[in-house]
Every structure is written in C-alpha cells, then in structure tokens.
Amino acid sequence: MSLVNRSLVTIDDLSNGEIEALFSLADEMSESINDQSHLCQGKIMASLFFEPSTRTRLSFEAAMHRLGGSVISVVDIRATSLAKGESIADMARVVGSYADVIVIRHSWEGAAKVVADYAGIPVINAGDGSHEHPSQTLGDLYTLKKERQTIRGLKIALCGDLKHGRTIHSLAYALARFGVSRIYFRPGPGLEIPPHVLRKLTQDYGGAFYKGPATDLSSLAQVLGAQSADAIYITPTDSHQLALMPDVHLKLDTGEGAIYVTRFQKERAGDSAISEKDYPKISPSVLKGKDFKRTLVMHPLPRIDELAYEMDADPRSMYFKQAARGVPIRMALIALLLGAREIDVPEEEELFSKIDYPVYRRGFGVKCHNPGGNCVSLHETKYIKPEFKIVSFDPLTLRCVYCEHEVQPEYIASSEWHQGMLESKKYHSSGSHWLKKIKPENLIMFDTEAEAQAQGFKPSSYAGKRNDD
C-alpha cells in the first residue's frame, strides 16, 4: 500500500491500518534516526507557518533534514503575497511548482484543504484555525501506543479548551476510531466540545453521548471539577446500555489511560475572558489518589498555567516525550507521502462503516455559518463555492466541507422549476413537507427569504411554516 501523493488534511485521511503502519515505520526511523538521510535527497519541503509555532514547525523541518531533504520556509504572512491580496489557491499552485511537499499552518479553518485542492503535491495540515491538527494526533496516538501497547479500551479525559482546541478535535475522532472505551470531556468554562464535533463522534463513529450526574463524587470528578461528569462519550467498544440508563452512576476513572490537558486558546476566543478558577489544572497534588497511579498526563504544549511544572519529574508525564516523538512520526509521514518508503498496511478492523453523505454545492444560496466567521470559504469567495455534506434531513443540517461547522438552512427550493412553469419557481420552509418531495440532487437551499427572492423565487404557502406534515 502506498501513501504517495496523498495529503493529510484531517485525521480521517488515513485509515486505522495506515496509521498503524506509519507507527511501525516511525519505530524503525527512531531506532536509526541518523541513518535515513538517503531517503529524501533532492526533495524540497515548503514549510508555510502563518501562525506561531515551535514544536510543529521545527519537528517537521528537523524531520525533513534527517531524511536528507531541504526546506524552504515562510513564517510571516506579511512577508508573502497573501498580504498583497493573493489568494490561497494561487499561492498553493505556485509553491506546488517549487516544492515536493507542503506543510501549512493557517488561522482559517479549511485553509489546508484549499492548499491541498490546488497545490498538485502532497499537503500536510499543521493546524487550520480551530479545525484540526492531524500530525499532532499521530504523535499523541503513537505515545499512547508506545506506553500502553494498544489504544483500544483506554479511558481518556480531554481537558481545557475543547471548543477551540484543534488538537482536541483531531484526537477525539481518532480515539473514537481506535476504540477507546470512553472519552471524558472536562472543558474550561464556556469551552465545551462543539456540536459539530459531537455529531461526528456519535453519528459518524457510532458512539453514544452520556450526560451523567453533576454531583458525582468519584475521584476524577473531584480532580477535574464538580461538573466533570456532565459529558462522557462512550464508544461502541464500551456498553451502549450505559447511555440508555438515565440514573446510572459511572465511575469516572482513567485507569491506565490518560488525562490530556490543553491551554486556553485565547488567540481564538476574541474578547471572551474565562474564569481562571474554573479552568481545569493538573498538578501532582490533584493526581495523588490511587486511581491515577497509572494514568498518563499528556499535553500538546505549549502550556501556560493548566499544567504545573512540578509534574515534569513525574514518570506519568508524557508531554516532552510526545514532542520528541513528533520527529520520527513526521519523518515517517513525509517519507510515505513522497513515496520514499512503502508500507504494508495491516488489515485493521474499522469499528464503523463510513457514511457517504450527499454533497450540496452551489454558487449561491446558503453559506457556511462558522461561528467566528473563520472558515476559508467565507474569505476566499472569488473561487470557492460553498460546499456541504447533508448530514441530516430532520432537521435539514449541512456540514461545511472546509471547517465542518453545521448550518440548518431555513428555506429550500427545487432546481426543477424550469421544467414546469415560471410561476412554480417557489421557495418553501425547510421544515415543510417539501423537503421530502424535492430530490436531494435538485435541492436549492437559502439562509434568508431575501436570498431566495434575489434568485427569482417567490414564497410558496409553505415558506413560513415548519413541521406542516
């Protein structure tokens, strides 16, 4: 199996088997890290970091140097033609003609997908806004695998900024796919896991979401705060029955699993301040209970105040190992995407079958509703047509293919109007029975009546009604 010429934009771009095979190659690379300089000789990696980075940029660049390749880089968007108004697509085409692989970090969600769509060479997403950070996840999973041999069945607590943390989003998807038994969510105040991430976890990966008792007094709840029990994701490997029993009292332990801590992403939170007091913080004193004796402490770094320096000497602390393992992981990834190495992909049991959602794409009508307006499709409008997956017909819900945030369009119409008479060019409420009558491939969707009218549609008697059937 070859990964040559593929891109890594989201963690779902690699199958479980491919990730396992990549780990085997990373093992091999780390055993002879000084011996790999023949693999990518003559190849060039473009390293485009338009947001601050230490670990990700330097570990990618170190990885390419260790493979014998060269690196061209930009670390300041103001030093590029993007600052003159050049589009990401044009930049991608040009850089794609200079280099063999691109690593990109950008503050817009979906920016890495656009680069991958236009560059013509493999592209690795090194973080796109709050969306995803798949190569960090490879390092996180690799650490879990090295320390615990298997990821399946582990219990993992994700703490901190679950709303804006791109490492959290990619990791949560991967943990679900690899069959951890539970994910506990312990957000900082107002920083809960976003609905579109939860839908993917439950609908796409088949797990269940459990709302537990807020007064749970088990040790994890004490450590992570009194509200820690209000959000638990149970994967199909654990008993679904738990999710169906409203009063069940789950023991919130992490056992041999991990507590994954993240900082508040204040650069993405606009003006909203958070209460320091309620932000989960990990220190040796909160982890002294016997339930945490074997629990790993992980962090993508950088840390601010959420992880005490006193943890550093603790054998449970994994964060510097995670960072160090980023180099062999990225060496393996680059070597595979450049075709410098091939791998045998083991037959891995996937715990769910991929859902092929219908795709909706039109040059007018409904647009992405990214809450911070931070989706690439809302910025690069000259050439990007809004594109969505229809993830639900009840209620009608779309997932943006760039940032994956959801939108529920208010109005619908059919593109088949022209076969009838002009007076049948009508729009309806998306909650009306018309949603079932119009074939998915003929659907046209609008956010507002004004948009529908601007396209020449007139309100039907079902334009203002919901649930009329």
Chain residues binding ligand NCD by CB under 6 A are: 55-56, 127, 133, 136, 166-167, 262-263, 265, 300-302
Closest CB to ligand NCD: residue number: 300
The smaller minimum CB distance to ligand NCD, of residues 127 and 280, is found at: 127
Minimum distance from residue 370 beta carbon to ligand NCD (Å): 18
Residues 207/172, Cβ–Cβ less than 8 Å? no
The smaller minimum CB distance to ligand NCD, of residues 103 and 396, is found at: 103
Residues 435/404, Cβ–Cβ less than 8 Å? no
**Gap between the Cα atoms of 464 and 469, Å rounded:** 14
Packing angle of the helix pair 319-337, 134-148 (nearest 10 deg)? 120
Residues 137/178, Cβ–Cβ less than 8 Å? no
**Gap between the Cα atoms of 164 and 178, Å rounded:** 23
Minimum distance from residue 319 beta carbon to ligand NCD (Å): 9
The smaller minimum CB distance to ligand NCD, of residues 301 and 400, is found at: 301
Minimum distance from residue 328 beta carbon to ligand NCD (Å): 16
Minimum distance from residue 8 beta carbon to ligand NCD (Å): 14
The smaller minimum CB distance to ligand NCD, of residues 10 and 136, is found at: 136
The smaller minimum CB distance to ligand NCD, of residues 140 and 230, is found at: 140
The smaller minimum CB distance to ligand NCD, of residues 7 and 125, is found at: 125
Minimum distance from residue 265 beta carbon to ligand NCD (Å): 6
Minimum distance from residue 109 beta carbon to ligand NCD (Å): 12
The smaller minimum CB distance to ligand NCD, of residues 124 and 445, is found at: 124
**Gap between the Cα atoms of 243 and 212, Å rounded:** 9
Q: Which class for 398: exposed (0-12), middle (13-18), buried (19 or more C-beta within 10 A)?
A: buried
Strand order in the sheet with 458-459: 443-446, 411-414, 426-429, 458-459
Residues across the chain: 469
Backbone angles phi, psi at 158, to 5 degrees: -105, 125
**Gap between the Cα atoms of 126 and 103, Å rounded:** 6
Residues 230/211, Cβ–Cβ less than 8 Å? yes
Minimum distance from residue 385 beta carbon to ligand NCD (Å): 28
